[in-house]
Amino acid sequence: MTQGVLVGRAVFDGARLWPETGVVIRDGRIEALIPAASAPAGAQRHEGVITPGFVDLQVNGGGGLAVGAGTDAAALARICATHRSLGSAGCLPTLITDTPEVTASVLAAGVEAARRGFPGFMGLHIEGPHLDPRRQGAHDPALIRPMGPEDLDRLCVAARALPALMVTLAPEAAQPEQIAALSQAGAVVSLGHSDCSYEQAIAAMRAGARCVTHLFNAMSQIGHRTPGLAGAALASDCAVGLIADGFHVHPATMRLSLAARGQGVFLVSDCMALAGTDQQEIQLHGRRIRREGGRLVLPDGTLAGADLTLPRAVQVLVEQVGIPVERALAMASSVPAAVVGAAGEYGAIAPGRRADLLLLGADLGPVGAIWEGVAHPLRSA
């Protein structure tokens, strides 16, 4: 519907739920929010929640494609299209630890994708290779290395050219001056895959890091005398990514963490190329990753990304963790949009915005989407 009125049992505008509310759409944009009682007789009705399209800041692939060697602008467009079919209006395709040549190639592809204005492409997330091998997770340890001058220059140039660039690094693998330079260039520096101390983490945040990647996973844990990176994430005001599939972080731990942090926590899928497909396994740097009981694992059982969509993560937060619906929806929309400076374009339903709407059923499962005022079907997983 490029124009008309869509009435929902509730509308989440990015901050709060409005019961029995209509969204007025004209020429692919939102013209107004109105009480359902004021809607015209011919208005469409949705017996569920209308929410902004979700925002996913960590997608390692989708539609059978992984971000890596050979990724070009067209591949990034296909990955973004896959995630729009799963409920995310926008995403950051994510390159995990690779060679300098592959990193440079993916960054160039991202700049071209931005130039061509592909729907849903918000920028890139470069996760590694400047990590701590003691917390490698599924990353190839042979490719992990400290940040050098050429790495820094490459990332700073890309940060200035892309709509958004998130860089996950470990404080052990980058100097405070490098973190500061990245931040000043416009990159969102996120701490992750690190065995750093609490003090090292705080020093990196003071240098310019303002996010933490997939809380609790591949990082130093909370001890009563050694809070580690996980403790720094919860004690600071930095943004924090969370994989809420029930496997990466126990629901009870999520509940405690969200009680500790009043705001700033956002959901990520951390999905792999399998997202949006029926494939059961893929290869990553010569290692097999398979689907197993709702997880993605290496042959040794190590978690390798997640078999997750953001709508499912919202359901987990509400059903298993007990988080209010408003907070769960914000963690998938307005909060991540703000983290990468895209709050003016994504994560809210308000007059003047693009009509990018996700339609959720009574169980908060996705049942449809409207992108720029046009209805689109969604994949089931």
Residue ranges in 68-216 assigned as alpha helix (H): 73-84, 100-116, 149-161, 176-185, 198-207
pLDDT for 296 = 85
Which class would CATH give 54-339? Answer: alpha beta
Whole-structure pTM value: 0.96
In this prediction, residues 166-185 reach a mean pLDDT of 98
* pLDDT-based confidence at residue 94 (cuts at 50, 70, 90): very high
d(CA 325, CA 164): 28
**Cα 121 to Cα 57, 60, 346, 347, distances in angstroms:** 11, 13, 11, 14
Tell me the torsion sign for CA atoms 18, 24, 30, 34: negative
301-345 residue pLDDT tens: 888 889 999 999 999 999 999 999 999 999 999 999 999 999 999
**Model confidence pLDDT, tens digit, residues 51-87:** 999 999 999 999 999 999 999 999 999 999 999 999 9
Per-domain boundaries in the chain: 4-50+347-376, 54-339
Q: Beta strands 165-169 and 124-127: pairing type?
A: parallel
Contact 337, 325 (CB under 8 A): no
Query: Average pLDDT in the 21-27 region?
Result: 96
Catalytic-role residue among 270, 278, 300, 307: 270
Residue 270 appears among annotated catalytic residues: yes
Are the CB atoms for 274 and 290 separated by under 8 Å? no
User: Rounded distance, CA 183 to CA 167, Å?
Assistant: 10
Percent of the chain with pLDDT strictly greater than 90: 88
Q: What is the pLDDT of residue 28?
A: 94
Quote the pLDDT of residue 201.
98
> pLDDT at residue 380 above 80?
no
Span of 101-115, 166-180, 228-242, 291-305 with lowest mean pLDDT: 291-305
Position 305 scores a pLDDT of 86
Please give the Cα distance from 131 to 124 (Å, whole number): 18
Beta partners for residue 369, in sequence order: 358, 376
Residue 379: the pLDDT is 80
The predicted structure's pLDDT at residue 365 = 95
Q: In the prediction, which pLDDT does 151 show?
A: 98
CATH number corresponding to 4-50+347-376 = 2.30.40.10
CA 316 – CA 319 distance, rounded (Å): 5
**How far, in Å, CA of 51 to CA of 353, rounded?**
13
pLDDT of residue 292: 86
Torsion of CA 126, 129, 135, 137, to 10 degrees: 70
Checking 325-329 for CB contacts under 8 A at 24+ apart, the result is 325/12, 325/17, 325/49, 325/364, 326/12, 326/15, 326/16, 326/17, 327/258, 328/364, 329/12, 329/17, 329/49, 329/51
| Whether pLDDT at 381 is above 60 | no
CA-based nearest residue to 45, from 25, 23, 16: 23
Report pLDDT for 245.
Answer: 97
